[in-house]
Amino acid sequence: MMVLVFDGLLACALLWSAWRALATPRLDRAIVFFIAFGLLMSLAWARLSAPDIALAEAAIGAGLTGALLLDAYGAISRRKGGK
């Protein structure tokens, strides 16, 4: 029973974070929600007994892509602030 509750909460959290990442008007918050979505997706892959995909999702989807997006956001913010 607890497994079904956890899986249901995980599915709801995935949908909520994906929706917030797409619907938020602030770019910095969208990036944070994208990183949170990647971490939740990694947990979902682990629950589906796919640890290799879970590790790749955590490393690439949340880690590397999130860091690149934050760096790009910082560059955009510096460029706008400099004008």
Half-sphere exposure (CA, 13 Å, Cβ side) for 20? 15
Percentage of residues in the chain having pLDDT higher than 70: 98
Residue 80's pLDDT is what? 86
Place of tokens 């947990």: 43
Write out pLDDT tens, residues 11-31: 999 999 999 999 999 999 999
The domain locations on the chain are 11-82
pLDDT-derived band at 68, boundaries 50, 70, 90:
very high
Q: Structure pTM?
A: 0.89
